[in-house]
Amino acid sequence: MRSVGVEEEYLLVDDEGVPAPRAPQALAAGGDPVLPGGPEEVADADGPGGELEAELKQQQLETSTPPCADLETLAGELREGRARAGRAAGRAGARAVALATSPQPFASTVTPEPRYREMSRLFGLTAREQLTCGCHVHVAVDSPDEGVAAIDRIGVWLPVLLALSSNSPFWRGEETHYASYRAQVWNRWPTSGPTQPFGSVAAYRAAVDRLVATGTALDEGMVYFDARLSARYPTVEVRVADVCLDLEDAVLLAALARGLVETAVRDAAAGATAPDVRLELRRAASWRASRSGMREDLLSPTTFRPVPAADAVAALLAHTQGALADAGDLERVTDRVAQLVDRGTGADTQRRWRADGLPALVERAALRTLA
């Protein structure tokens, strides 16, 4: 069984629900160092829930779980990670909240680290406005060759994961009419988004090296593909999702990402070629998922024609059924998907809460984050 781990990013907010630059104080109060943020520089975890890490902005914290073999262990690690972030934020006079964008207007503050300062200088307003929180899933692979084979085959399915995770309908106090506006903001980076099949590790490495050589990425850590080979771990890193309001939705994402990678590796071993879909269609599917979430049509991952969101999810479940069953995840995933299709995503929950005002929305989200 492939191990799986999850990184979650959270907003730090004050009593009015406004993002607050409290990460340095929270990290110090939590007993964790302020981490420089380079792709290789990670502190060892001290106890369950993984380490706390600084992010691009001082209004953010990140946690990461260790590799987990089963979903129940992963859920426990995520729960403790959220609790740990909440405790550290509380000692700094803030709250940690799993929202992928801030519903409230904000002014963001770059973490005082040379790499982040250079990103801010080079990318201007794109970097200054980049206060978004994602959920990154790491799925273990046996080799880079296996990893690239998986990346080439899972890309057409990733917009469905984005739709399922959508949790950012508001931006700077406004209704965006997107379920995941984080995806729109995030895709301003020149190296972000979907990719076409690479075909080999050599081709993947050449693409990354050429991107870095252009100067539009400072280093490999800034190659923000929707799915990439991790620079730190022997994993495929699926980066397409919003941070989830509900912890169990993050577990669902991890299970589906693992199922996709395992299915892709099996297909590659059986000689199946990667889907030959033009990049323009892949980008359209990603945009549609960002816009629609689970409440309007998505593009079918097989035909790239509009279909009800529930049908796209059903196709994903059918595609990964064997891998999910072999991992013991099928029942849990099927049940959670049914709940999510029925009640909606974090974006739908936020819109229901909006009637009570934005500060109340953020307050309820903070409580749900630790529920």
CA gap 286, 282 in Å, rounded: 6
| 326-332 contacts, C-beta under 8 A, 24 or more apart | 326/1, 326/262, 327/1, 327/2, 327/255, 327/258, 327/259, 327/262, 328/70, 329/71, 329/255, 329/258, 329/259, 332/71, 332/251, 332/255
Q: Which CATH number, 3.20.20.70, 3.40.50.300, 1.10.10.10, 3.30.590.20, labels domain 4-369?
A: 3.30.590.20
Pair 64, 250: CB distance under 8 Å:
no
Helix (H, G, I), strand (E, B) or coil at 4: strand
CA gap 265, 268 in Å, rounded: 5
pLDDT at residue 371, rounded to an integer: 85
Sketch the domain layout of the chain as residue ranges. 4-369
Low-confidence ranges of the chain (pLDDT < 70): 31-50
The kind and range of the H/E element at 152 are helix 144-154
Pair 37, 21: CB distance under 8 Å:
no
Which value, in Å, is the radius of gyration of the alpha carbons in the chain? 19
Residue at 251: amino acid letter: V
- Burial class for 143, CB neighbours closer than 10 Å (0-12, 13-18, 19+): exposed
- Burial class for 187, CB neighbours closer than 10 Å (0-12, 13-18, 19+): middle
How many C-beta atoms lie closer than 10 Å to residue 174's C-beta? Answer: 11
At residue 130's C-alpha, the angle toward residues 169 and 98, to 5°, is 50
Q: Structure pTM?
A: 0.94
Sign of CA dihedral 330, 288, 209, 38: negative
Specify which residues 230 forms β-bridges with.
none
The kind and range of the H/E element at 95 are strand 95-97
Name the one residue in this structure whose structure tokens are 């909606």.
344
Pair 72, 328: CB distance under 8 Å:
no
DSSP-derived secondary structure for 244-291? PSSHHHHHHHHHHHHHHHHHHHHHHHTTPPPP---HHHHHHHHHHHHH
CA gap 94, 102 in Å, rounded: 14
CA gap 211, 202 in Å, rounded: 14
CA gap 207, 212 in Å, rounded: 9
- Burial class for 223, CB neighbours closer than 10 Å (0-12, 13-18, 19+): buried
pLDDT at residue 42, rounded to an integer: 32
pLDDT at residue 47, rounded to an integer: 46
List the structure tokens of 56: 């691009």
In Å, how far are 88, 92, 247, 356 from 29, measured between CA atoms?
6, 7, 24, 32
Question: Considering only CA atoms, which of 228, 250, 245 is closest in space to residue 237?
Answer: 228
